[in-house]
Amino acid sequence: MRHWAVWVMAVVLLGTGLFFIQHSVTDAKQISSEVLNWNFKPAKDQQPADADPHYKELLKEYDGVFMGCPQDKSLYLTFDNGYENGYTKQVLDVLKEKEVPAAFFITGHYLTTETDLINRMIKEGHIVGNHSYHHPSLPEVSEERVKRELTKLKEEYKEITGEEYMPYLRPPQGKFSEESLSLSRDLGYINVFWSLAYKDWETDNQKGADYAYEQIMNRIHPGSIMLLHSVSKDNAEALGRVIDECRKQGYEFKSLDDLMMKKTMRKFHP
């Protein structure tokens, strides 16, 4: 593991608020297994998105995130990679040209079929996150299945790439429960949801780069965790223009590691 990654993980674990003490408190109460579907409430005129108060309380308790600081003009670009549709190389080319970091959440299928692309992500400084091995709804499978899904992907990722830094989890299908948040945190993961997304995953219903650009820019706000799908031709073609316009408006693209360090520092220095 890179020395900077070790340092980041130390900060993140410290920032969980003395994890083992929290864990003992969690064990003392009843944890709900109710299946929840992540959603957020977009706002107009670059005002921060919002989410259900109960969802926000759960993320706070179990150290998950869906948005950065709403006073900080930082953007966090993330992609879900369940399978390859031929556009990730183009996405990576744009990110390299523009010097923008991103996080790619991968499944087992992607890991075993797109090794070259994953190695490129690592080489070019991007984060590779866990999207589970088979993409099940985590709150709707057994605890043992959740452990297998997350552990198998991480172990094979290390075997294939030689890297073991994988602290971030994107819950498949956006489904979660208090129980799944607690369990995945116990396994060492930070659940990463989002505050910006649009219906971009339908590969037979692409509407052009201009449409993608408008959908993304209409939802931009300070602290956005942006969820895009790399199977989208529209996203790949609009990405460079999105990056340029966001920077023109004063935004900076940051990594999830940067977000977690800021979150930790705010916890100790509010």
87-139 pLDDT tens trace: 999 999 999 999 999 999 999 999 999 999 999 999 999 999 999 999 999 99
pLDDT of the residue at 119 = 98
Q: How confident is the model at residue 75 (pLDDT cuts 50, 70, 90)?
A: very high
pLDDT of the residue at 141 = 98
Structural domain boundaries, residue 206: 68-262
Greatest Cα pair distance, the chain, in angstroms, is 52
How far apart (Å, rounded) are the C-alpha atoms in residues 79 and 8?
A: 21
Residue 9 lies in a domain: no
Mean pLDDT of the chain: 91
Could you tell me what percentage of the chain is helix, strand and coil, using 3-state DSSP and rounding each to the nearest 5? 50, 15, 35
Residue 176 lies in a domain: yes
Residue 20 lies in a domain: no
How far apart (Å, rounded) are the C-alpha atoms in residues 169 and 184?
A: 8
Residue 178 lies in a domain: yes
pLDDT of the residue at 56 = 97
Of 58-62, 138-142, 168-172, 263-267, least confident by mean pLDDT is: 263-267
Residue 61 lies in a domain: no
Q: How confident is the model at residue 9 (pLDDT cuts 50, 70, 90)?
A: low
Could you report the per-residue pLDDT of 198-250, keeping only the tens digit for each?
999 999 999 999 999 999 999 999 999 999 999 999 999 999 999 999 999 99
Of the residues 131, 200, 229, 257, only one is catalytic, namely 229
Of the residues 63, 80, 200, 257, only one is catalytic, namely 80
CATH value at residue 196: 3.20.20.370
Within a 10 A sphere around the Cβ of 49, how many other Cβ atoms? 20
Within a 10 A sphere around the Cβ of 5, how many other Cβ atoms? 16
CB neighbour list of residue 240: distance below 8 Å, 6 or more residues apart: 94, 97, 98
CB 60 within 8 Å of CB 185: no
pLDDT of the residue at 18 = 42
How far apart (Å, rounded) are the C-alpha atoms in residues 153 and 136?
A: 13
pLDDT of the residue at 136 = 98
Q: Catalytic annotation on 229? A: yes
How many domains does the chain fold into? Answer: 1
pLDDT of the residue at 264 = 77
pLDDT for residue 19 is more than 90 = no
Percent of the chain with pLDDT over 90: 85
